[in-house]
Amino acid sequence: MATGNYLINLYERCLKLPFGRKIFSAMFARKAPYFKTIKPLITELKPNFCQLTFKKRKAVQNHIGTVHAIAVCNGMEMAMGALAEASIPKHLRWLPKGMNVQYLAKTESDVTIEASSSESTWQPGDQPISVEAKRSDGTVVAAGHITIYVSEKPNR
């Protein structure tokens, strides 16, 4: 079902392909190459919601063998960015402004991250996007929000 949003349309087209989620996730991660470091997989994308996962592996671990907090934040920022691009009306634009995250538990497994917002998010001004990371047993390991600044696109 085409929504008119370029990113949702691309996601839906990719889902029809073998390994479509992997293909889409790799393409989106190329937008900000640092996202590739966690090898993310976007598992769900729709307006005002994005879920992604990434595996616990040596490259994302810290000195005590848990997933590094910055790897978790990287996933949170990617999920927020995909949500924003999939949700924002065509006449608006967004920029990240700040991140407030609480680290609540050790991340001892693969990670699932969810970013969520509401329809009221998409108006000019500072807007919070909720982000939450969970380990495989469902324990929330980090939660917070990423503030984006939403503004009108300039007339060209």
| Residue, of 88 and 155, whose pLDDT is higher | 88
Q: State what percent of residues in the chain have pLDDT above 70.
A: 98
Averaged confidence pLDDT in the chain: 95
Q: Report the alpha-carbon distance of residue 12 to residue 1 in Å, rounded.
A: 8
pLDDT band of 3, cuts 50, 70, 90: low
The answer to whether residue 141 sits within a structural domain is yes
| Residue, of 3 and 94, whose pLDDT is higher | 94
Q: How far apart are the first and last CA of the chain?
A: 30
Mutual angle of helices 6-15 and 20-29, in 10-degree steps: 140
The answer to whether residue 124 sits within a structural domain is yes
The answer to whether residue 70 sits within a structural domain is yes
The answer to whether residue 1 sits within a structural domain is no
Q: Report the alpha-carbon distance of residue 33 to residue 132 in Å, rounded.
A: 22
| Residue, of 1 and 39, whose pLDDT is higher | 39
Give me the residue label for tokens 């047993």.
137
The answer to whether residue 49 sits within a structural domain is yes
Task: Give the tens place of pLDDT for each residue, 95-137.
Answer: 999 999 999 999 999 999 999 999 999 999 999 999 999 999 9
The answer to whether residue 145 sits within a structural domain is yes
pLDDT at 65: 95
pLDDT at 1: 44
Number of domains in the chain: 1
CATH number (domain holding residue 62): 3.10.129.10
pLDDT at 121: 95
The answer to whether residue 99 sits within a structural domain is yes
The answer to whether residue 11 sits within a structural domain is yes
Task: Answer yes or no: is pLDDT of 8 > 80.
Answer: yes
Indicate the SS3 state at residue 20. Answer: helix
pLDDT at 36: 92
Where in the sequence is the domain holding 86, given as residue range(s)? 6-152
